[in-house]
Amino acid sequence: MIKHSTNRQPNRRQVIQTGIAGIAGAAAVELTTQANAQQPEPVPKLVNPNGRFAGKVVSITGATSGIGRAAAIAFAREGAKVGFCGRRENLGNKVEQQIRKPKEVESFVNCIVEKYGQLDVAFNNAGDVLSKTLHEIAVEEWDWVQNTNLRGVFLAMKYQIPHMLKRGGNIVITASQHTVATRPGFSAYTSAKRALLGLAQAAALDYGQHGIRVNVLLPGITDTPLFQRTTGGSTEKVEASRQLVDALKRIATAEEIAEAALFLASNDCPSITGTSLLADGGMMSGL
């Protein structure tokens, strides 16, 4: 069953105070084990004020757990000011947002720009998964998966891009290895994630002349709270997933995938746009 976020809408002051972390603040964000008591928490490294993202402002959705949370810490460690949102209100001083609602997404983006005066990088990472065969999917479940994974990214980009038109910027979208090859039971999830690649390619063509790059990150099996939820904590399921990663025979950490996001978001690759980066441990190589 897909978990829905609550309907409480944060006010403007809450978004600025708790949804945005500065250089040191985001790196030192409260590291709680409430999300997954069995998963060791990363230890933040010292902030580098001269890092790759010094002077940059970064927006992240889906940042209260997993890859998004690891990315928030990594961006801040590299000198960025980070504005973030997520739906796990109990994980410390972070703000819950509903990425399917235009006004809330617009407010979140505008608050970051009002606070810091610019927006340089957007990591649109929020998403959810549903594993059911097609005829078993309720219409409401289908809409939930599409709205969370596709509509949410569209809305984020719709309100982020106007702030990047004058200065340029980098947008990174989290999709999935299912964009390349899927498995039984993932029709809703795969259709939404594959649509993200088309969205990114079209946007890259629309805005490349403005210095805006748009790329898609395709994580493979990654040890996150979402992965733990889908496996139900089953040792057998975890081991089966590990064996699917043909080359490395291990499951990636959220921190590893976050570093791939930072690479795409950095100026280390100024000619890369409208494409995807597969970080799946070699799984697709074995197909």
Angle subtended by helix axes 254-265 and 66-77, to nearest 10: 60
- CA separation for the pair 132, 265 (Å, rounded): 33
* CB neighbour burial string for 32-71, b if at least 16 within 10 angstroms, e if fewer: eeebbeebeeeebeebeeebbbeebbbbbbbbbbbbbbbb
Q: H-helix or E-strand containing 262? A: helix 254-265
Task: Residue 54: name the closest of 80, 77, 36 by CA.
Answer: 80
Please indicate whether residue 116 is annotated as part of the active site: no
Q: State the catalytic residue, choosing from 116, 159, 189, 207.
A: 189
User: How distant is the alpha carbon of residue 58 from its chain centre?
Assistant: 12
Which residues are tagged catalytic? Answer: 189
